[in-house]
Structure 1
Amino acid sequence: MSTELLFDFSTRPIVPFAQDYRHGAKEPWHSHNCAQLLHTLSGVVRVETDQGHWVVPPSRGVWLPAGTRHRLQATGDVAARTLFIDPFARADLPSVCQVVQISSLLRELIINVLALPERYSAGSREERIYELILDEIRVMDTLPFNLPEPQSEALLSLCRQIQAQPGIRWTTAQAAQKIAVSERTLLRHFQQQTGLAFSEWVRRARLMEALSLLAQGQSVLRVALELGYESPGAFSAMFRRTLGVSPSDYFTHQ
C-alpha cells in the first residue's frame, strides 16, 4: 500500500524541499504526482522501487519520474535537498529511475532555489534560475548505482541471497546450482531480465553494500573483510576503478 503526495505547480515549475534524516530513518512506500530529484549532501540513501534498488552516495542524486512508487532508508546522517518538478515543465525530462551525477553548477542552483519566492515575474532572475535547473537536469550523467530486479521467483530469490551474504564470492556455477539450472541458462535469463551480466550484478551489489558500510563509519579494512576481499588493497583497487577515488577518500572529498 502506498500514498500519493500531491504538489501544486501553478506558480512555479519546481518545488524545492530540504530534509535531514538520522541514520536508519525510513520513508514508507509512496509516490508523487511529479518528478523528483533527490540530492544528498551527506550520507547514503537507499531507494527501492518496483523495478529495483538504487543507492545514492553523497553529492549524487536519484531521479524518480512522476508516479514512481518508492520507499527509502538513510544510512549515516543524511542531508537531502529535493526538487519536485512539474512533469510537464519539459518534454524531454528523464523517463526512468537513475542515480545521477550532480554537477557543481546544479548543486549550487539547488541550494539557491530553496530561498526563491514561489511567485516571480517573467524574465526575472528567479525565472532564469528555474529554467537553468531544468536545462541542467536534461544533461545529468547516469551512474551505475542501481540493482535491477529479475522477474522470475527463482532469480529474485537468488538475488536476495546474494544481497544477504555479500561476503560470499559467488560463481556462476554456485548460483546455477542454487536454482537448479545450467550456467548457460542462468547467464542468459539473468541478462534478459536485469539487463546486466550476472558478474556485473554481483559486483554492483557488493559495491552498494560497501557504500552503506563506509557511510556508517566502518574502516576500509573491516569493509573489505566483510565483503570477502582477500585484502584491503584488492577492495580499494576495485573501488578506485569504479569511482575514481579510494574508499578512504570517498566520504571526505565530496
Structure 2
Amino acid sequence: MDKLNLRPEEGESTPRAVAVLATDPAGDAFIPPHAHRRGQLIHAISGVMMVSAEPGSWVVPTGRGVWVPPGMTHQIRMAGEVKMRTVFVEPGTRADLGADCRVIHVGALLRELIVAAVSLPLDYPPGGRDERVMELILDEIEAAPALSLHVPMPRHARLAALCEALIRDPSQPATLDGWAERLHMNARTLARLFERETGMTFGAWCRQARLLLSLPRLAAGASILEVALAHGYESPSAFTAMFRRTLGVPPSQYLQQKKER
C-alpha cells in the first residue's frame, strides 16, 4: 500500500493501535502548530527538521527522532529537502513511551522497521508478521534512551531565524558580535538572550549544532576533511579536537563504537 503523503488524520483513525506514514514535503516546508490525538515519533530518514513544542524546540537531523506525546501542540520546520516518517501510537498502548517529549537515537534496526512499516496496510491483520513489526517498533522506541546531545532552538523569532540559517549552512561564519549587529543589539545583551532562550552559551550552541549536524554525514562515509569544511572548521584537526572534547573520542572511534552496538 502506498502511504506517501497521506493526511495525518489517516494515521490517527486506523483500526490498529500503531500506524506509520511517510511524508516528503517540499523544501523548507513549515507545518504550523497543531496537535494529534495519538502520540507520535517524528523521524526524518533524510534531511533536518526543527520541531517545537511547549517543553522546548529541537534540531532533529537524520538518525534522530522526537517523541511527542498525545495532545501536545507542536510545529515542524524543514531545513531543505526532508523525508519524514511518523509513527502514530494510540494512547495507552505502551505506558513506557512516556508523557514527555524526548529526543532519541534512531538506530539501524528502528530505522529499517519504520521504513518497512510504511508499506504495511493500515488495517494489517492482528497476530501476524505485520503486527509483530509494529510491536517491535514500539519496543525499540521504548528502549532508546533520551539523548543529551541535542540542540535546543530559541523561541525568539529573529534569533531563531539566524539559528535556522546556520543549521541550513553550518559552514557559514557565526560570531556573537556579528549576530548582535544583525539583530541590532549589543553582544552582551545577545549573550544573555541566547542563554535564557536555549540554556546554552552562544559558542556552546554553535559547536553542538555543528557537531550534531556532522554525525549523519560522517556515518554516510564522508571524509573528516569534507565534514570539517562543510561545518565551519578551518582544518580536520580543529574539527577532530572539538569532536573529542565533546564526545570523548575522535570521529573514527565514535563511528566504530556505533557499528559495534
CA distance in 2, matches of 1:158, 1:23: 21
Partner of 1:83: 87
**Superposition RMSD on alpha carbons, in Å?**
4.2
CA distance in 1, matches of 2:190, 2:134: 54
Say how many residue pairs are matched. 226
CA distance in 2, matches of 1:23, 1:99: 23
SS in 2 for 1:32: coil
Determine if the alignment matches structure 1 residue 70 to structure 2 residue 74.
Answer: yes
SS in 2 for 1:92: helix
Determine if the alignment matches structure 1 residue 245 to structure 2 residue 245.
Answer: no
Partner of 1:105: 109
Cα deviation, residue 222, structure 1: 5.4
Contiguous gaps of at least 5 residues in structure 1:
151-155
- Return the TM-score normalized by structure 2: 0.65
Select the structure that is richer in helix: 2
Quickly say closer, same or farther: Cα 1:47–1:131, change in 2 above 3 A: same
CA distance in 1, matches of 2:235, 2:56: 30
Cα deviation, residue 168, structure 1: 5.0
Please give the residue correspondences for 1:111-190 in structure 2 after superposition, counting only pairs within 5 Å.
111-143=115-147, 144-147=149-152, 163=163, 167-168=173-174, 178-179=188-189
SS in 2 for 1:107: helix
Output the amino acid matched with 1:139.
A
Report if aligned partners of 1:47, 1:73 keep a CA contact under 8 Å in 2.
Answer: yes
CA distance in 2, matches of 1:161, 1:111: 32
Output the amino acid matched with 2:35.
S
CA distance in 2, matches of 1:17, 1:230: 41
Deviation larger for 202-211 or 156-165: 156-165
Report if aligned partners of 1:98, 1:146 keep a CA contact under 8 Å in 2.
Answer: no
CA distance in 1, matches of 2:61, 2:122: 30
Quickly say closer, same or farther: Cα 1:100–1:89, change in 2 above 3 A: same
Report if aligned partners of 1:9, 1:86 keep a CA contact under 8 Å in 2.
Answer: no
Deviation larger for 30-39 or 91-100: 91-100
Cα deviation, residue 199, structure 1: 6.4
Cα deviation, residue 125, structure 1: 1.8
CA distance in 1, matches of 2:190, 2:150: 29
Output the amino acid matched with 2:152.
L
Output the amino acid matched with 2:101.
C
CA distance in 1, matches of 2:46, 2:187: 41
Cα deviation, residue 197, structure 1: 7.3
CA distance in 1, matches of 2:62, 2:209: 18
Report if aligned partners of 2:12, 2:38 keep a CA contact under 8 Å in 1.
Answer: no
Output the amino acid matched with 1:15.
A
Quickly say closer, same or farther: Cα 1:87–1:244, change in 2 above 3 A: farther
Cα deviation, residue 142, structure 1: 2.7
Report if aligned partners of 2:28, 2:79 keep a CA contact under 8 Å in 1.
Answer: yes
Report if aligned partners of 1:34, 1:84 keep a CA contact under 8 Å in 2.
Answer: yes
Output the amino acid matched with 2:131.
E
Cα deviation, residue 110, structure 1: 0.9
Cα deviation, residue 89, structure 1: 0.9
Determine if the alignment matches structure 1 residue 16 to structure 2 residue 20.
Answer: yes
Quickly say closer, same or farther: Cα 1:236–1:21, change in 2 above 3 A: farther
Quickly say closer, same or farther: Cα 1:53–1:232, change in 2 above 3 A: farther
Deviation larger for 103-112 or 201-210: 201-210
Output the amino acid matched with 1:11.
P
CA distance in 2, matches of 1:48, 1:244: 31
Cα deviation, residue 134, structure 1: 1.2
- Return the TM-score normalized by structure 1: 0.66
